[in-house]
Amino acid sequence: MSYFRAENLSLHFGGLKAVDAVSFAVEKGEILSIIGPNGAGKSSIFNLISRIYRPTSGRIFFEDQDITEQPPYDIAKLGIARTFQNIELFENATVLSNLLVGRHRHSTTQLWQELLFLPNVRANEKLHRRRVEQVIEFLDLEPYRDKLISGLPYGVRKVIELARALCSEPKLILLDEPSSGLNVEETDDMSFWIRDMRSELGITVLMVEHDMTLVNRVSDRVIALNYGRVLAMGSPAEVQQHPDVVAAYLGA
Amino acid sequence: MRFLFKTDYEDDIKLFPHSGYVVSYGLLIALLLIAPYVLSSYLMSQLVFVCIYATVGVALLILTGFTGQASLGHAAFLAIGAYTAAYLQKYNVPFPVYFLAAGLLTGIVGAMVGFPALRLQGIYLVIATISFAFIVEEILARWESVTNGNEGMRIKTLSLLGVAVPRDSPTFYFLCLAVLVLTIVGTLNLLRSPTGRAFVAIRDSETAARSMGVNVALYKVKSFAISAAITGFAGVLFAHKLSFISPEMFTLQLSIEFIIVILIGGTFSLHGAVLGAIFIVMIDPFLTYLKDDMPGIIAGVAATFGAGTEAAGNIQSKVAAFASLNGLKGAIYGIIIVLFVLFEPLGLYGRWLKIKLFFQLFPLYKRATFKRQKIYVKSERNR
């Protein structure tokens, strides 16, 4: 049984088949990339997994549990975190409170305890703060702790979004174009972090990416999509030489 | 300028980041404690209203400022609190009991309003809350067996543990102050714990909040309930202060006044609620003063500049007629809101921060410090 599995996943908007009977599996500890031209349905698959969209048909399994009908907030509680293509941070809050929201799935305190800020709330807050600090150290975010998101440059925001996802201590992380908008150096850093996430934190990674250098450097396997269908699946080199993939990109 | 060296995670959690805060807030509390023995009875009465309005302001800030859900229905929550107190008083229920009961009932009603609000955003939510306020107003006017209809209800003097507390006594003021301070402390506690952060997350991006495991619906309802409950508590004090309540006191205009409190004070910090409350309570006597004295002053100025006695008298009567126009107060409120939104979107507290920073950084202050960076990349929101 695989760690994470999508079976015949479909998403139709009227007559448009954004995702059309896509099946794939992710093994524990794997880095799997999804590539494809614009509009191939890559982000839609992510939105299906994190339940922003409801699949038209098909099922999703995580750790042998059917999560197709789970409400969106439960997906995070199961240990699936995600980042967004266009950055969805909490603009008018500080970096620290953004990262602490990532800890939400671990909060156990009750409302009335929080109103009085009882010792258990304080202890919990310190624990969260310590965990957040570990992530800050991991991603070199020390200079930004108390800054407001709205004043930060794009590249930093991208890293903070990754940090927020890591703060929830996920088992599986979905990265939606981690390198979009980043310069060459930042993309380099990102590729190291993605590999470290697997080796040091034991996180399984599923990512959508356009930058083939990054894909080649980090992925164990690659899935190529076009028009919502799987074109090819295999090692990065195999997929890039697959005739259908070449045709999809070059329009032959 | 002071630089904080944090050596413990406690430094990020505590309410007073450094000793300066303790000194200034300690001084403020001390001043507020000696106020009743120094100030005139008129100013004391205004101060009590400031406390009540600030309490409602804090409640509205939780909902609108921090959770991002607009409400023009808070006058209705205040009314429910006030009428619960008045009704239970008839059956000789002691003050602590009906005080808590009012908060509880208003909180439950708030949660019930929160449920339909889950599907509404922005302006539609505002309309929904306005309709709720009208429904409550109408019920108060028609349900005569309980609310006494348009004749209104008289509130007996507050009796705390057998001791009578008249509405203009220092004890009543201290009670209002205590409620305000407890509300602020509770809210600050909430804001530095998971629930408060979930509220802010919902305000800034519901999609991201959801993907981080926040049950958006549950937290919106919680926010409505907490906000309403606090307003209910304030309603009890409001009823006691006025000693008489009737449906026409809890109109749309009162809800708008509460919105003004947070808009003018600043929607991003609890300081805003207090500053806005001071503003709204003090603007009323100011308007009365203008109405009474302005015609005479203008006529006097006209006379100095060579207008004849008759012309001056003419001007005086015209200005007086203008000043006593119906709805002038509403128009002035409207202008104030527009001007603040256009020129001082961070409110009075934002202005205070700018002045403070100006002196801290002198002569290096840049006007652009508080400018928000424009966001060019904005994802289509998945609601």
pLDDT in tens, B178-216: 999 999 999 999 999 999 999 999 999 988 999 999 999
Geometric angle at alpha carbon B74, from B69 and B75, rounded to 5°: 160
> What is the residue whose two structure tokens read 């909430």?
B190
Q: What one-character-per-residue DSSP string does A169-228 give? A: --SEEEEESTTTT--HHHHHHHHHHHHHHHHHH--EEEEE---HHHHHHH-SEEEEEETT
Which residue of chain A has the CA closest to B226?
A111
Same domain, A187 and A145: no
Strands A57-62 and A65-66 turn out to be antiparallel
CB atoms A102 and B377 under 8 Å? no
A173 neighbors A197 (Cβ within 8 angstroms): yes
Same domain, A102 and A116: yes
Question: pLDDT (tens digit, 0 to 9) for every residue of chain A, 252 residues total?
Answer: 689 999 999 999 988 889 999 999 999 999 999 998 888 889 899 999 988 889 999 999 999 899 998 998 899 999 999 999 888 899 889 999 999 999 999 988 899 999 999 999 999 999 999 999 999 999 999 999 988 898 888 899 999 999 999 999 999 999 999 998 899 999 999 999 999 999 999 999 999 998 889 999 999 999 999 988 999 999 999 998 998 888 888 875
pLDDT for res B366: 76
Same domain, A65 and A107: no
Q: How far apart are CA B58 and CA B273, in angstroms?
A: 6
pLDDT for res B383: 44
Q: Smallest Cβ distance to B212: which of A114, A115, A168? A: A168
Question: A-chain residues within 8 Å CB-CB of B379?
Answer: 84-88
Same domain, A11 and A61: yes
Q: Is B338 exposed, middle or buried (0-12, 13-18, 19+ CB in 10 A)?
A: exposed
DSSP B18: S
Q: How far apart are CA A124 and CA A146, in angstroms?
A: 20
pLDDT for res B382: 46
Q: How many CB atoms lie within 10 A of CB A248?
A: 20
Same domain, A20 and A72: yes
* A151: contact with B, CB 8 A cutoff: yes
B236 neighbors B98 (Cβ within 8 angstroms): yes
CB atoms A126 and B378 under 8 Å? no
Q: How far apart are CA B136 and CA B250, in angstroms?
A: 9
Structure tokens at B9: 């995670």
Give me the total of CB pairs closer than 8 Å, taking one residue from chain A and one from chain B. 133
Please check whether residue A84 lies inside any domain of the structure.
no
Same domain, A21 and A74: yes
Strands A31-35 and A204-208 turn out to be parallel
Alpha carbon of B187: minimum distance to chain A alpha carbons (Å): 7
Please check whether residue A86 lies inside any domain of the structure.
no
Same domain, A102 and A151: yes
Q: How many CB atoms lie within 10 A of CB A132?
A: 26
Structure tokens at A214: 């990054």
Q: How far apart are CA B43 and CA B125, in angstroms?
A: 37
Same domain, A161 and A211: no
Q: Final residue of a domain: which of A153, A168, A183?
A: A168
Question: A-chain residues within 8 Å CB-CB of B61?
Answer: none
Q: Final residue of a domain: which of A116, A144, A168?
A: A168
DSSP A148: B
> Residue A244 region, left (φ>0) first, then alpha (ψ -120 to 50), else beta?
alpha
For A110, the 3-state DSSP assignment is coil
For residue A138, the enclosing domain spans 91-168
Q: Of B74, B376, B64, B73, which is closest to residue B203 (Cα–Cα)?
A: B64
Please check whether residue A176 lies inside any domain of the structure.
yes
Q: List, in order, residues 6 or more apart from B166 with CB less than 8 Å away.
A: B157, B158, B172
- CA-CA distances (angstroms) from residue A36 to A7, A13, A181, A223? 19, 20, 18, 8
Q: How far apart are CA B47 and CA B277, in angstroms?
A: 10
Q: How far apart are CA A8 and CA B160, in angstroms?
A: 68
* A94: contact with B, CB 8 A cutoff: no
Question: pLDDT (tens digit, 0 to 9) for every residue of chain B, 383 residues total?
Answer: 677 788 888 888 888 888 888 999 999 999 999 999 999 989 999 999 999 999 999 999 999 999 999 899 999 999 999 999 999 998 989 999 999 999 999 999 999 999 887 888 888 999 999 999 999 999 999 998 888 888 888 988 888 888 888 888 899 999 999 999 999 999 999 999 999 999 999 999 988 999 999 999 999 999 999 999 999 999 999 999 998 999 989 989 899 999 999 999 988 889 999 999 999 998 888 888 888 888 888 888 888 887 777 888 888 888 888 887 877 888 888 898 899 988 888 889 988 888 888 888 888 877 776 765 555 544 444 44
Q: How far apart are CA B240 and CA B352, in angstroms?
A: 33
Same domain, A75 and A178: yes
- Domain total of chain A: 2
Please check whether residue A85 lies inside any domain of the structure.
no
pLDDT for res B145: 86
> Residue A36 region, left (φ>0) first, then alpha (ψ -120 to 50), else beta?
left
Alpha carbon of A98: minimum distance to chain B alpha carbons (Å): 8
CATH number for the domain spanning A32: value is 3.40.50.300
pLDDT for res B86: 93
Q: Smallest Cβ distance to B9: which of A107, A109, A126? A: A126
A49-96 pLDDT per residue, tens: 988 889 999 999 999 899 998 998 899 999 999 999 888 899 889 999
pLDDT for res B374: 53
Q: How far apart are CA B118 and CA B35, in angstroms?
A: 44
- CA-CA distances (angstroms) from residue A250 to A94, A235, A238, A246, B332? 44, 20, 17, 6, 65
ipTM given for this complex: 0.92
Question: A-chain residues within 8 Å CB-CB of B190?
Answer: 111, 114-115
Interface probe for A, chosen from B204, B211, B230, B269 (most Cβ of A below 10 Å), is B211
Q: List, in order, residues 6 or more apart from A26 with CB less than 8 Å away.
A: A2, A3, A4, A5, A32, A172, A204, A206
> What is the residue whose two structure tokens read 């939400």?
A104
pLDDT for res B371: 65
Please check whether residue A97 lies inside any domain of the structure.
yes
DSSP helix, strand, coil percent of chain B (3-state; round to 5): 75, 5, 25
Q: How far apart are CA B8 and CA B10, in angstroms?
A: 5
Q: Which chain B residues touch A if contact means CB-CB below 8 Å? A: 9-10, 12-13, 186, 189-190, 192-198, 200-201, 203-205, 207-216, 222, 226, 268, 372-373, 375, 377-379, 382
Q: What one-character-per-residue DSSP string does A59-97 give? A: EEEETTEE-TTS-HHHHHHHTEEE--TT----TTSBHHH
Same domain, A73 and A196: yes
* A75: contact with B, CB 8 A cutoff: yes
